[in-house]
Chains A and B, each alone.
Chain A
Amino acid sequence: DGGITQSPKYLFRKEGQNVTLSCEQNLNHDAMYWYRQDPGQGLRLIYYSQIVNDFQKGDIAEGYSVSREKKESFPLTVTSAQKNPTAFYLCATRRQGPNSPLHFGNGTRLTVT
């Protein structure tokens, strides 16, 4: 089945540690995105990538890093520099064309204590 896999579903880390969230897709979509969702807030864009080896900062990129070495994969690293890392992280993909919708994974809930 085609889809987007985010793993793990739940992740716990101690403050000061870096953590990497996985996102894999087999939809053959060119564009991939990382969003963050906090209670009572809309989705906020962290990073996005249109092609392999290229990515751009979104609205809240500070404290995060990404890589796009393969079309299928777009991992997100939450670094210790991120002030409030506890959140629900969503990965999404999109095919070519300005009207195409986003396809989301089922998210990773990160808790940092």
Chain B
Amino acid sequence: SQKIEQNSEALNIQEGKTATLTCNYTNYSPAYLQWYRQDPGRGPVFLLLIRENEKEKRKERLKVTFDTTLKQSLFHITASQPADSATYLCALLWGTDRGSTLGRLYFGRGTQLTVWP
């Protein structure tokens, strides 16, 4: 069965540094990968999507990479701020769901990021 692992449960960094979060998966590569942000007591909010044929995607201070050889995605937040503190989830779509409008997404457990001043 497919498995998704996010590198650590918690990551603490100093304001201004770059935060790097990891998402690893097993078996065959997903059609695409998404990253979400979740604040305590709230639903996740979509941040970025990267397709299997894309190496890198950027949005403001966010950057996502996708390495199908390593079976890994990296999520970077540059010039991090305390307001970036949240839990970040990666989600993947696989196999027969590729062409489906429905598309079942499978989520990792998330990494809790804390940015301290």
Contacts and interface: CB of A to CB of B under 8 A. Distances in A.
A106 B51 contact: no
B44 interface: yes
B34 A101 contact: yes
Interface string A69-98: 000000000000000000000101010111
Contacts, number: 67
Best-surrounded residue of B34, B89, B103 (most CB of chain A within 10 A): B103
B89 A31 contact: no
A98 B43 contact: no
Interface in B1-20: 4, 9
Interface residues of A, number: 29
A41 B4 CA distance: 11
Interface bracket on B: 20 to 34
Given A31-B101, A98-B99, A107 B43 contact: yes
A106 B43 CA distance: 4
Interface stretch (B55-63, B65-73, B74-82, B104-112): B104-112
A30 B101 contact: yes
Given A40-B109, A41-B109, A106-B41, A98 B103 contact: yes
B43 A94 contact: no
Interface of A: 4, 6, 30-31, 35, 40-43, 45, 48, 50, 58, 90, 92, 94, 96-107, 109
